[in-house]
Structure 1
C-alpha cells in the first residue's frame, strides 16, 4: 500500500505539472525574462479592461511582431488604440514582451511572414475569451490607422446579429488572378486596411480556425481567411459599389505610396473620407496623422457650436430679443440664457458674433471707406490693393480654397448614396472673395463639377454651379500658461536660506549684473566677413550719405566688413568724381585700418560691369553683398545677410522696402542723415516692399561663378539683375527671399532713356510708376486735381 501511494503521488505530481504547463499555454500569457519591471502585460491588460468596461461594441485585435512592439504597436496604442469603443489587444509571437501595450503572446507562434498562424489563432483567442462581450471583431495590422468614431458610426448602422464579413474586396492582382483557387463568385477581404466580422461570423469560423490553418492553398493570409469564412460562415467579403469605385476602397483606404504613404500633405479627400488608412509605416507619421484628425474633430465641434448659436439666436428673435443683447437675456425671470460670463471657464461663446445667420449682406457699411472690396480669382489673383494687380495666387489662399472646396463637396455628397449619384470636383473657373473683419470670409465660386448617376439611367456629365460660401470667424481664444523657469535656483526659496548665504547671493547677483556687459561683449571680428561691392557714377550727395552711414554702422562699431567702391568717371558731373575720391581719402585717413578700396573705371557706366570689377578683387570663398548707393542698412540686416547666405547651398535675395516719391508726401530725403530711416518709416503711405526687385543680393563668389555671373553684354538701365535671378532659380542653389526691415531703398528719380531696349524700357517705366506713391495718395491727388487730367 505504501508503494502504491508513492506511485499515485508521483503520477498526481506529473499530472498537476502537465495541467499547469498547459494552462499557461492556453492562457497564452508569458512572463518576460525579467519580471522585475513595475509594468507587466498583466497590468496593461487590466488597465485596458478597466478602460473598456462600459463599452462593448468592438474588439480590435492588432497583429504585430516583437521588433515592432516598442515602435509601431506603441504608436497605435498611444493614438487611436485608446479611443476604441470597446477593447484593443495586441497579438505577437510566443516569447514577446512589452511594457507599452496590452499584449497576448500566442503560444507556438513566431513572427515569420506570412502571419497565417498568428491570424487564425488570434481569431480563436477572440472567440474563446470575448465572443459574448462584443458585437464586432476587427482584425488589424500595426501599420493601419483607424478613425474609431467613424467606425462606430458605421457599425451601429448595421445589424450585428447577422453574419457580416466587411473589408476592401480583393480578387488578387493581375499576376495572381486565377492562381488563388477562387471561383468566379468568390473574393476575400484585403488584410492591410482592416477586416471586420460580426459576432455571428466569428462564431461560425473560429471553432474551425485550426482546420483552416491545416488546409491552406496559398501563402496569402487574407486570402485564406476569406476562404475559411466562405466555407464555414457561407458569406463573402462585402460587394458594394458607388459609381465606378467601391465604397470599401474609399472608407477602408489603401495608399499605394508604400513607405511614403501619409508622410506628405494630409489635406486630401481620401484622408477625410476614410475610416481606416493603410499603411502608416513610420511611428512619427502615425502620431502626425492622429494630431491632424484630432484637429478635424475640433473643427467639427466648432461648426456644431456655430450652428447651435444660430439656432439660439433665431429662437430668441422669435421671442422678441435682439441678438446684440442676448448675453443679458433671460428665458424666464432669474434664469439667464447664458449664466456663465465672458472670461469664466465654462463661457459658451459670443452669440452676438456666432449667432448671426449666413448672408452676403449681413455686414452693412455706413461709410464709403467701410465698403468691402471683392477680389477676383481666376488662374491668377486680381486685386486693386496691390501695385501689381494681377499676380500669382499665393500658397495660403490656394490652401484655403482647397479646404473650402473639399468641405463643399463633402456636404454636397453627404446623401449621395441614398440618391444614387455622386458629384466630383474638377476645377474653379473663377471666383470672388473678400474678408469681413467682424464676421469672416465671403466667397463666390464658379465650380466645374462632374455629375455621375449610377442608378437607373446611368450618366456622366459636366456641370457648372455657383457656390456662395461664408467662413465665419469663431472668436479669439487665449490660453494663459503659468511659466516658471526650469532652473535649480527657481526651485529654492532664498528666504529659507541662512542670513549669511542670502547676503552672499545678493552680492554675487550684483557682481554678475555689473560684469554682464563685459562678458557679453560682441566680438565682431569672429563674424563672417561681408564684402560690400558698391557701383558709383556721380551722385556725390547720395554717396556722402551712404559713407556717413557706413562709418557709423561698420567702422565705428568695428563690424567685420570690407567696402569696394567701383567708381566710374561721369562726363556730366566730373566734380562729383573728384569729391567722391576726396571723401574716401578723408575717411581712410581717420580710419587707417579701415578696409576700403576704390576700383576705378573709365568705361561707360554699367551696373553689371561695375559689380564684376568688384568681384574680380575677391577670392572664391568671399561672402559678397551687391548694394546700391541709394540703400540704407543697419547692424541687424548684416546679421541676416550672414545667416541667410550659405556657401554652395543658398543665395539671399532680400526684399527691400522702397520709399515713395517724397515730393508727394511733402518730405525731402536728399542729403538727409541716414538715422531718419528707422523701421518706424515702414508703412503703407511711405513706401512698399519691392517684391520684384533683385538688385540687392548676397552670395559667395564661388556660387556667383557657378551661376555664370552677370550678363556683361547688357548696357543701360537694369535687367542684369533679373537675368541673374533667373539663372539662380534654374540652378541647384536654394533661393531665400524675405522682407528685411533693415534694408531701405531711398527714393530717387528714374530716367528712362528712349534708346533702351523695349523690355528694358518697359521695366524702367514700371519701376518709375511704382515709386510715385501709394494708391490712396495718388487717388487723393487725382480727386484734388482731376480737372488737370485728360
Structure 2
C-alpha cells in the first residue's frame, strides 16, 4: 500500500511540475475495522520524505499522511493469504523471552510470576516457546527472601525457562531504561525480547499470538518491532459495578493507544537503534523515545501496532511528586488522571447512581442531600486529580454538576417545606412517612435524566 501510494504520488507531482520530489515513504501506524453493510476500512498513517527542488537549497521535509482505504466484500476466492507453518520450537531464535525490570514492587512481581506459572509453566507445550528473565533492583536493608525463594524454586524446576538477576540499588540507582538495557545484554543478537511492565497480566494465548506474529513478520521483513496496544484498568475509585479484572469494558478501563512501555523486538534491531535510554531517572519518556527512534524515516524497521486484549495493565498510582521537570510532571499527572475512571462513572458516582440506564430516584433520601455528592467527591481528590477531572470533563460540565446539585438541594428544600407545613396542619402521626408529592418526584427525575443523558 505504502509503495503504491508513493509511486503514484511521485508520478502526479512529476506531471504537475511540482517543485518538490518524493524520496520515499514509511509505514507508521495502522488499523482496520469491519463495516457490516459495506466491507473493510483500513486506516494507515505514513511518513513521506520529500526534498525541495531548488538551485539555492536542497532542504528536506517530512510529511505525515493518513490514508483511508475501503475494501468492499468480494468472493473469498479472490483473497490471497499465507499461513504460518510449524517451526522448530527448540531453536532459541523462535523463543519469546519475557523481560521484566522491578524495584520495590514485590507483591506485584509475585503476581506476575504466578501469572507466568499459571499461563506458561503448567503447559508443557509452551516450555520451549517462552522464557522469563527478571532484573531485580534491591536496597541493602531490603528483605528479598520471599521473591528469591519463589524464583529459586521455579528456576530449579524449570532451569532453562526462568532466571533472576539481582542488582544492588545502593551502587546503581534504579531506572527502567537502564534495567532493560542491562537485561538485553543477557541475550544473543537474533533472540526475540518482550519487554513488559511488572504490572501487566497476560494470557497464554496472547503470548502465543505475539510470538507467531513476530516470527511471521520477521520472515517477510528484515526488521519488525511490535508495540501492542494493551487494556489499562481504571482506578477502583470510580468503578461502580465492581467488575472482575477479566472483563474488558469501557467503564473499567481503556486501550492505551499512546502507551509504548510494552515492546517486542529482536535484540540486534534494538541495538541498531541505540538501545534503551539509560540516563532517565524520572518517570516516563524512555519508551516514547524508543518508539520515536523506530518510527523515524531513517529507520529500516516496520513498526507494528494492534490491540491485544490478552494483555491487561493493573492500575497503580504514578509517583509524579518527585519529578523536577515541570513539563514531564504535567505529562505524568495527565497520564495518571486518564486512568482515574471513565467519564460515565465520574458522573454516576457523585449522585450515588448504580447505572445511567436504570436511574432510581428512590436512592435519594427525601429529607437529606444525596448520599455521595459532587462536592464531597471533589473534596476527596488531591489538587492534581481535581485539576485533571475539570480538564477531562470540561470546566463547563463541572459547573453543570454543581448547578444540578444546587437544583437538587432546592428541590429537597421545597419538599421539606411542604412536609413541615403538612405536619403542622395535621394531627395524624403517620404523615411522617408520607411519600413525596408526584410533581416534585417527576421534576427531580426529569432534571437528573436530562443531565445524565446529555453528558
TM-score normalized by the length of structure 2: 0.55
Cross-structure match for 1:786 = 374
C-alpha distance in 2, partners of 1:786/1:261?
52
Alpha-carbon contact 2:238-2:342 (below 8 Å) kept: no
C-alpha distance in 1, partners of 2:6/2:167?
59
* CA shift digits 1:154-182 (9 cap, x unpaired): xxxxxxxxxxxxxxxxxxxxxxxxxxxxx
C-alpha distance in 1, partners of 2:86/2:225?
30
Which of 769, 776, 779 is the equivalent residue of 2:337?
Answer: 769
Cα deviation for residue 594 of structure 1 reads 4.1
- CA pair 582-756 structure 1, distance change in 2 beyond 3 A: farther
Where 2:134 maps in the other structure, the secondary structure is strand
C-alpha distance in 2, partners of 1:261/1:689?
30
Which of 208, 223, 233 is the equivalent residue of 1:649?
Answer: 223
Cross-structure match for 2:207 = 638
Q: Which moved more, 1:751-760 or 1:625-634?
A: 751-760
Q: Does 1:556 align with 2:85?
A: no
Cα deviation for residue 654 of structure 1 reads 0.4
Alpha-carbon contact 1:652-1:698 (below 8 Å) kept: yes
Q: Does 1:732 align with 2:317?
A: no
Cross-structure match for 2:95 = 529
C-alpha distance in 2, partners of 1:395/1:631?
33
Cα deviation for residue 633 of structure 1 reads 1.3
Cα deviation for residue 261 of structure 1 reads 11
Cα deviation for residue 604 of structure 1 reads 1.9
Q: Does 1:750 align with 2:318?
A: yes
* CA shift digits 1:750-779 (9 cap, x unpaired): 221334322321221111101111111112
* CA shift digits 1:533-561 (9 cap, x unpaired): 10011222211211111112222213221
C-alpha distance in 1, partners of 2:174/2:288?
18
Alpha-carbon contact 1:555-1:594 (below 8 Å) kept: no
C-alpha distance in 2, partners of 1:688/1:751?
21
* CA shift digits 1:701-736 (9 cap, x unpaired): 100011101121111211111111111111121110
Q: How does 1:675-694 map to 2 (within 5 A)?
A: 677-678=245-246, 681-694=247-260
Which of 580, 584, 588 is the equivalent residue of 2:147?
Answer: 580
C-alpha distance in 1, partners of 2:324/2:122?
42
Cross-structure match for 1:599 = 165
Q: Does 1:713 align with 2:279?
A: yes
Alpha-carbon contact 2:100-2:135 (below 8 Å) kept: yes
Cα deviation for residue 524 of structure 1 reads 5.3
Q: How does 1:238-277 map to 2 (within 5 A)?
A: none
Cα deviation for residue 581 of structure 1 reads 1.0
- CA pair 592-641 structure 1, distance change in 2 beyond 3 A: closer
C-alpha distance in 1, partners of 2:73/2:191?
48
Q: Does 1:542 align with 2:99?
A: no
C-alpha distance in 2, partners of 1:757/1:719?
12
Q: How does 1:279-290 map to 2 (within 5 A)?
A: none
- CA pair 264-583 structure 1, distance change in 2 beyond 3 A: same
Q: Does 1:662 align with 2:236?
A: yes
Structure 2: runs of 5 or more not aligned = 13-37, 39-63, 78-84, 352-371, 380-455
C-alpha distance in 1, partners of 2:165/2:249?
37
C-alpha distance in 2, partners of 1:741/1:627?
15
C-alpha distance in 2, partners of 1:625/1:262?
33
Alpha-carbon contact 1:631-1:745 (below 8 Å) kept: yes
Where 1:753 maps in the other structure, the secondary structure is coil
- CA pair 599-478 structure 1, distance change in 2 beyond 3 A: closer
Alpha-carbon contact 2:237-2:341 (below 8 Å) kept: no
Alpha-carbon contact 2:192-2:265 (below 8 Å) kept: yes
Where 1:574 maps in the other structure, the secondary structure is coil
C-alpha distance in 1, partners of 2:6/2:146?
65
Where 1:743 maps in the other structure, the secondary structure is strand
What RMSD, in angstroms, separates the aligned Cα atoms of the two structures?
3.6
Q: How does 1:74-113 map to 2 (within 5 A)?
A: none
Where 1:712 maps in the other structure, the secondary structure is coil
- Aligned length, in residue pairs: 281
Q: Does 1:629 align with 2:198?
A: yes
- CA pair 594-773 structure 1, distance change in 2 beyond 3 A: same
